[in-house]
Amino acid sequence: MHLATERAEVFAMSLRNPARLFTLLSMFTALVGTLAAPSAAQEVRATRRTTGRTIVVTVARLRSDSGQVMGGLYRSAEVWLIADQADGDCRANIRAGRARCVFRNVPPGSVAFAGMHDEDGDGEFDRDLLGLPNEGYAFSNDVREPLGPPSFLAASFATDALLVHARYGI
């Protein structure tokens, strides 16, 4: 028997028997409710996906397109510039002297960006014998300190900013 014909017969039987129709409608409603209602795990995943903001940091005027820009987004002065303590990391390819780091689901508050131009691709921030940078670096708010990196406070910004520029220096 063809599937459409079977369905028509079930429907016709249901119309003749109101109790059966009510049972079928209840089962159908429960099934649709189960399929439509997200489970607790799905709700948690959806919440994680939509919590916070997306922040885009653009590092411009890089001196070459070789290598990548590697950077991190930090949430406090206590962990500022400490390796492996960033709340978000990025590795961005460089095109026409520009790189974009995208950080998703950043919670509300203040954050600061620090990045470096890893020109030789070794994953390290290269310095000369005096400790001065051989590769470029960037901090949010275009902040530049004469001797050493800026403070977290100087580089921090509110997470309601959607686009952040970081001055490139060497």
Whether residue 94 contacts residue 69, with contact meaning beta carbons closer than 8 Å, is answered with yes
Q: What tens digit of pLDDT does each residue of 117-139 get?
A: 999 889 888 888 988 888 999 99
CATH of domain 52-169: 2.60.40
Side-chain-side CA neighbours of 94 within 13 Å: the count stands at 23
Which tokens sit at 107? Answer: 């919670």
Q: What average pLDDT is seen over the chain?
A: 75
Q: Rounded to two decimals, what is the model's pTM?
A: 0.66
pLDDT value, residue 42: 35
Q: What tens digit of pLDDT does each residue of 83-118 get?
A: 899 999 999 999 999 999 999 999 999 999 999 999
Burial class (CB in 10 A: 0-12, 13-18, 19+), 82: exposed
Where, residue-wise, is CATH 2.60.40 in the chain? 52-169
